[in-house]
Structure 1
Amino acid sequence: MPAAIDKAVCYVVQDGHLLVFTHLRHPMHVTGVQVPAGTIKAGESPSRAALRELHEETGLEGSVVRSLGTADYEITTRHFFELEVPSRDISLRWIAGEPEPAHGGAPETWECWWLPLEQAHVLAAGLGRLFGTH
């Protein structure tokens, strides 16, 4: 059995909305609605990885409010964090992405936006596992 991969997951909440993104090159029924998250690099703390992933995936700088705990999902151990960013207009949407994805594929782009908290149940692939538990 392969070793678990550590990942950091970011919950950024503002004015009753959660920061999420949806892929532009792939249909939503394939990728779903996601929150910023990604693999923790060797020697990197989970909280530092959360801040890096937030910036890489949304272009926003933030700070860690608190750790929400960990949960196993398939072959990953996910470290969940509540983060905050400077106040933003939650009606705004913006394009972000990875010009050189770690998996080596084609550049990826997605649209970042603010999802009302009562709709957070739509998060893909267990990303909502610790949302609202603390």
Structure 2
Amino acid sequence: MPIVKEEAVCYVVQDDRLLVFTHLQHPMHITGVQVPAGTIKPGETPTQAAQRELFEETGLEGIVSRELGTMAYDVRPMRDEIANRHFLELRVPQQDLSRRWVAGEQDPSHGGASEPWECWWLPLVQAHVLATGLGSQLWKLSQH
């Protein structure tokens, strides 16, 4: 029986561009294009986790503007796990959308070595390339 992990997934959009990252030490065909996301720690709300994950994974401080919903994602066969994902929209101060920067996770939840990646702003119309179901709730961004 797979374990269930609660996760927060961050959607940060400015001028029709989505904040994403790609790993620098792993091939794109393995890790894909991702958005900031991660495990919700015990005692943490999805909102708190999203704000923490955004900062840890990108160096940007953001505020949750709304919750978009929850969806389960079966991580198998990679891990015997179901990710119960809480999707949240966050706002950050205005950014230079042409800028790319290196960030990463110093203490990954899977316990491995630190992981560097490159953060950048993907045109929202191209967000269908997001890996592992991370784009499943993007359609809700246009609903207010």
TM-score > 0.5, shorter chain as reference: yes
* Number of residue pairs the alignment of both structures matches: 134
Shift in Å, 1:16:
0.8
1:126 aligns with 2:133: yes
The amino acid that maps onto 1:111 is E
Aligned partner of 1:52 in structure 2 is 52
CA distance in 2, matches of 1:82, 1:99: 24
* Distance change in 2, residues 1:2/1:8 (3 Å): same
2:87 aligned residue (80, 83, 92): 80
SS at 2:72's partner residue? Answer: strand
Deviation per CA, 1:48-102, whole angstroms, max 9, x where unpaired? 0000000000000000010000001011110000001000010000000123323
**Residue 24 (1) aligns with residue 31 (2):** no
Structure 1 residue aligned with 2:106, among 72, 94, 99?
Answer: 99
User: Structure 2-normalised TM-score?
Assistant: 0.90
Distance 2:36 2:124 in 1: 16
Tell me, in whole angstroms, the C-alpha distance in 2 between the residues paired with 1:68 and 1:47: 11
Q: Any gaps of 5 or more consecutive residues in structure 1? A: none
Q: How far apart in 1 are the matches of 2:105 and 2:31?
A: 15
What is the TM-score of this pair, normalised by structure 1?
0.97
Residue identity in the other structure for 1:120: A
Segments of 4+ in structure 1 off by > 4 A? none
